[in-house]
């Protein structure tokens, strides 16, 4: 292990090198501000690169009557009125600029014959407003941002794991971490810190996130720095994640499979969506389809492995090869399964954290001076159900805004106050784990968290289960006092897993406690003991270990938006 501490100073530190982190770093560099970006996985392999569907903006290239106001109204309605209207307005207004920025960085959007950017229907949008690049939109966005970062000479450290955001008197002054390869400790001083380290859906057993990403890192770093979390119980479950092999459980089968005519059947061979949404059937909304599949499995009508069947084998082979090439390839690689001949075994999978760090709508600042959160780490836009395609545009809009806000904050500082005590605490936290030699295995405890969350806080929750989940969490936390951490010749992943576990425990507790408080069914949050929507719970639930759960009022929807809120037909649209 390299024990020599590296000390770096920068104006703004960005934690996370996915779409939101890179967009903020680009804005800072273009403004001439010194910036450093850190990631715990290679920048080309950030979670953003997995996003398939598309990116929303009311460009009006296909439907001229579309407007930012209608985009904002659709977002608020789909959130079950838990979105902050101001946040929705900022994203919808700034979306066209976000697309223009991507074009400036060289993004290759799908286009019509006359050169207009193509836009398609997606989810509960009133108009066609989803721009895309094949079924790899996120990957193309990530490529474009990485290329722009290279042009601007932005320093990006790909294998630095941040263990703590450093604060003094309620303001940030940097962060502490270590190199995943050789263990080199990093002490980074910065005027402002932008947290862009994703969500917490990896704390469920089946998830569309890969190993060691979205373990709740943002939640832990923010909470330990003194910030709070908003609506962590609101997690979107995608209806179709594969079950096997276990190391790939939760890998998504694109909803394009249903959009192209795929049929869902239970273990008895029955087409079950007719019992849940006879009109839209397989083209129902994401939360409805996930709930239907969950119910079939829970009531004993699932497959042998606890799933349901998604069948596209009746479609023409050329349709599958041209419209679902990625699904075909994925299943061939992972299961040697030919989807043109056989059905796919799927189950609902944790997909997206709609809640996150509490931030102000206008600049995504937190209650800790100089600390900002963006992307899936933040909250305020999606409420209880995310409009498909909104997450990618949110990255670009707020990446730009937050980059500017952090630069302005830094410029206004008289001095940067530091704390040797805070630095020593961060050093000690790492040092203590490195000598931890207990009998408990970190990976086994991570699995225990995932089992608890899957059992008690999955698609459907109830009071009894949430209480039992919190009890199990107490037991797991007690066991963490006996963990062993053993870095080896391959690197310091084991130390990172110990911090991932800390993050997962905080994220799990926040989720269970807020889910217990939200005694209603709204969007993605299904309470079997409270099946109805409760108007008194049209509030955000804000959590911290210091205050527990508090209710926060949501600002009223402006008249110009509320009059545009209507039921949107999903006929013929690919939902979410």
**Active-site annotation, residues:** 238, 258
Q: State the sign of the Cα–Cα–Cα–Cα dihedral 163, 369, 214, 447.
A: positive
Dist. CA 193–CA 127, nearest whole Å: 37
Helix (H) or strand (E) holding 193: strand 185-195
Dist. CA 57–CA 137, nearest whole Å: 14
Strands (E) in 330-482, as ranges, are 344-353, 356-357, 371-373, 440-441, 460-461
Dist. CA 209–CA 225, nearest whole Å: 25
Cβ 47 vs Cβ 422: under 8 Å:
no
DSSP state of 341: T
Nearest to 51, CA basis, from 469, 459, 395 = 395
55-56 and 130-131: which strand pairing?
Answer: antiparallel
Dist. CA 549–CA 509, nearest whole Å: 11
Read out DSSP for 305-325? Answer: TS-EEEE-TTS-HHHHHHH-H
Instruction: Report CA-CA distances (Å) from 438 to 180, 205, 269.
Output: 22, 25, 49
């Amino acid at each position: 292990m390299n024990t020599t501490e590296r000390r770096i100073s920068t104006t703004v530190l960005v934690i996370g090198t996915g779409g939101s982190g890179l967009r903020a770093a680009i804005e800072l560099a273009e403004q001439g501000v010194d910036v450093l970006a850190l990631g715990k996985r290679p920048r080309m392999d950030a979670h953003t690169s997995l996003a398939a569907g598309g990116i929303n903006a009311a460009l009006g290239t296909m439907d001229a009557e579309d407007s930012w106001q209608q985009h904002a109204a659709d977002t608020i309605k789909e959130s079950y009125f838990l979105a902050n209207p101001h946040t929705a307005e900022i994203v919808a207004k700034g979306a066209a600029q976000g697309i223009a920025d991507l074009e400036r960085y060289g993004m290759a959007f799908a286009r019509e014959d006359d050169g207009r950017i193509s836009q398609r229907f997606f989810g509960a949008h009133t108009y066609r407003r989803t721009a895309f690049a094949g079924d790899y939109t996120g990957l193309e966005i990530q490529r474009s941002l990485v290329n722009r970062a290279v042009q601007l000479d932005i320093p990006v450290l790909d294998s630095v794991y941040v263990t703590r955001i450093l604060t003094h008197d309620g303001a940030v002054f940097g962060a502490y971490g270590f190199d995943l390869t050789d263990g080199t400790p990093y002490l980074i001083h910065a005027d402002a810190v932008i947290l862009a380290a994703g969500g917490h859906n990896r704390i469920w057993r089946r998830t569309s996130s890969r190993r060691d990403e979205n373990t709740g890192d943002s939640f832990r770093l923010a909470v330990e720095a003194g910030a709070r979390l908003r609506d962590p119980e609101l997690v979107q479950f995608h209806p179709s994640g594969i079950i096997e092999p276990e190391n790939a459980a939760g890998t998504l089968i694109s909803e394009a499979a249903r959009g192209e005519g795929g049929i869902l059947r239970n273990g008895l061979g029955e087409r079950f969506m007719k019992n849940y949404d006879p009109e839209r059937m397989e083209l129902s909304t994401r939360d409805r389809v996930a709930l239907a599949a969950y119910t079939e499995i829970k009531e004993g009508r699932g497959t042998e492995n606890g799933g349901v069947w998604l069948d596209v084998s009746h479609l023409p082979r050329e349709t599958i090869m041209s419209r679902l090439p990625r699904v075909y390839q994925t299943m061939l690689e992972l299961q040697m399964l030919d989807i043109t001949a056989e059905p796919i075994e799927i189950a609902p999978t944790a997909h997206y954290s709609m809640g996150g760090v509490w931030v102000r709508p206008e600049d995504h600042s937190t209650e800790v001076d100089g600390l900002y959160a963006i992307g899936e780490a933040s909250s305020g836009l999606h409420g209880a159900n995310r409009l498909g395609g909104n997450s990618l545009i949110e990255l670009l809009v707020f990446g730009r805004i937050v980059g500017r806000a952090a630069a302005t904050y830094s410029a206004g500082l008289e001095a940067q106050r530091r704390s040797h005590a805070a630095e020593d605490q961060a050093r000690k936290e790492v040092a203590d784990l490195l000598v931890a030699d207990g009998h408990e295995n970190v990976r086994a405890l991570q699995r225990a968290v995932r089992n608890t969350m899957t059992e008690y806080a999955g698609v459907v929750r109830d009071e009894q289960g949430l209480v039992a989940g919190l009890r199990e969490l107490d037991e797991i936390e007690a066991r963490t006092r006996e963990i062993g951490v053993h870095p080896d010749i391959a690197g310091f992943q084991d130390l990172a897993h110990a911090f991932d576990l800390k993050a997962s425990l905080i994220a799990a507790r926040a989720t269970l406690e807020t889910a217990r408080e939200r005694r209603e069914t709204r969007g993605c949050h299904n309470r079997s003991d409270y099946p109805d929507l409760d108007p008194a719970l049209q509030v955000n639930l804000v959590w911290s270990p210091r205050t527990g759960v508090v209710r926060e009022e949501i600002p009223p929807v402006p008249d110009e938006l509320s009059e545009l809120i209507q039921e949107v037909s999903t006929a013929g649209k690919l939902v979410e």
